[in-house]
Amino acid sequence: MMNKGCAIVTGGSRGIGKAISLKMSEMGLPVVINYNFDKAAAKAVLNNIENMGGRGIIFRCDVSDASQVKNMISCALSEYGNIYALINNAGISQIKLFGDITLDEWHRMEGVCLDGVFNCCQAVLPNMIHNKSGRIVNISSVWGVHGASCEVHYSAVKAGVIGLTKALAKEVAPSGITVNAVAPGCILTDMLTEECSEETLRQLAYDTPVGRLGTPEDVAHAVSFFVSESSDFITGQILGTDGGYY
Ligand code: NDP
């Protein structure tokens, strides 16, 4: 898979995004590693990629801001000529009773997790449509499929990502572009450990039929399938990566 253009991984600096960035590089694609705050983490991923003989750049941008996203895509295009894959992974989470969620918190969740996907898709599509090829993979969540108590805003926007994926897949399929989503279950990253006690993590692993929490690499494998040529005839799909949780 050479010379097709680059892969853009939003939130590619930590957790699931880091594993996806490394996987994209393994697949031969130069990687644009996006981050919002933690430049050192993004740089460490880039070092890792370069040590393995790959290429990439880091780019700071808040995906909820359309003009920052446009700058990132312009930079990717001037660096690599084309964009082959966009992985919309950047996300935030929050555990809160529905009645305590403020309108600002609701809008921030929507801004990062849903507007972010909208902004990035809109910015890359002109190049992909021109090339008549491209892969978009959105990271939703098991909670977007069946809802989570105390995460109504998170569940709502992740369900929105699923709707966006299915509809956009139909619209851009004639242009040779596939749009799919992965819906991870409980994956051991900062997002999970910052919100859950050791006991809750043990319970989540117990509640997962395969008997363990997922790893970022579990999700990266699923993403790599949608980016690979093996999935040419697959679009608009939501692949659960949850150890049988749902
Ligand atoms: P982490 O919190 O470990 O990492 C989040 C990443 O997103 C970081 O790279 C962070 O960059 C980046 N990010 C956050 N906000 C923005 C923003 N506004 N603009 C650009 N980048 C941003 O999360 P995970 O790796 O766990 O999650 C990755 C994705 O997977 C998310 O969409 C999440 O909702 C989803 N998911 C995770 C699950 C889990 O159990 N972990 C389960 C289901 C889905 P920085 O550090 O610079 O802020």
For residues 118 and 216, what is the distance between their CA atoms, to the nearest angstrom? 24
- The residues that are catalytic are 154
Site to probe by mutation for ligand 1, drawn from 10, 14, 86 as the one with most ligand atoms within 8 Å of Cβ, is: 14
Task: Count CB neighbours of 58 within 10 A.
Answer: 19
Is pLDDT of 122 > 70?
yes
Provide the token pair at 78: 């001037």
Ligand 1 pocket residue status of 208, Cβ below 6 Å: no
End-to-end CA distance of the chain: 33
Q: How confident is the model at residue 3 (pLDDT cuts 50, 70, 90)?
A: low
Structural domain that includes position 127 = 6-241
**Is the confidence at residue 223, as pLDDT, over 60?**
yes
Give the Cβ contact number of residue 122 at 10 Å.
14
- Tell me if 137 is assigned to some domain: yes
The reported pLDDT for the residue numbered 16 is 98
Which residue from 118, 238, 237, 120 is spatially nearest to 184, judged by alpha carbons? 238
Question: Token pair of 81, please?
Answer: 């000529």
Nearest CA to ligand 1 atom 34: 91
> Does a structural domain hold residue 144?
yes
Residue 2, pLDDT score: 40
Number of structural domains in the chain: 1
Torsion of CA 57, 138, 227, 21, to 10 degrees: 30
- Give whole-number Cα distances, 157 to 92, 94, 109, in Å: 11, 12, 7
Q: What's the pTM value of the predicted model, to 2 decimals?
A: 0.98
Residue environment code for 124-137, b if the CB has 16+ CB neighbours within 10 A, otherwise e: bbebbeebebbbbb
**Residue 169 within a domain:** yes
Look up residue 36 and give its DSSP letter.
Answer: S
**Among 10, 16, 18, which residue has the most ligand 1 atoms within 8 Å of its CB, making it the best to mutate?**
16
Whether the CB-CB separation of 179 and 172 falls below 8 Å is answered with: yes
- Whether the CB-CB separation of 5 and 131 falls below 8 Å is answered with yes
pLDDT for 245 equals 96
pLDDT tens profile 53-108: 999 999 999 999 999 999 999 999 999 999 999 999 999 999 999 999 999 999 99
Does 17 contact ligand 1 (Cβ within 6 A)?
yes
Helices (H), 55-181: 66-80, 103-110, 116-131, 142-146, 152-172
* pLDDT tens by residue, 158-213: 999 999 999 999 999 999 999 999 999 999 999 999 999 999 999 999 999 999 99
Protein residue with its CA nearest to atom 32 in ligand 1: 91
- Residue 35 falls inside a structural domain: yes
Residue 157 belongs to a domain = yes
Judged against a pLDDT cut of 90, whether residue 1 lies above it is answered with no
CATH code of the domain containing 153: 3.40.50.720
Residue 176 lies in a domain: yes
Q: Which residues of 13-25 are buried (b: 16+ CB within 10 A; e: fewer)?
A: bbbbbbbbbbbbb
Backbone angles phi and psi of 92, in degrees to 5 = -130, 165
Tell me how many degrees the CA angle 190-196-199 measures, rounded to the nearest 5.
Answer: 125
Residue 1 in any domain: the answer is no
**Quick check: is 59 in a domain?**
yes
CA nearest to 189, candidates 161, 219, 233: 219
φ, ψ for residue 28, nearest 5 deg: 95, 5
What is the per-residue pLDDT across 138-162, written as a single tens digit (0 to 9) for each? Answer: 999 999 999 999 999 999 999 999 9
Tokens representing 3?
């010379």
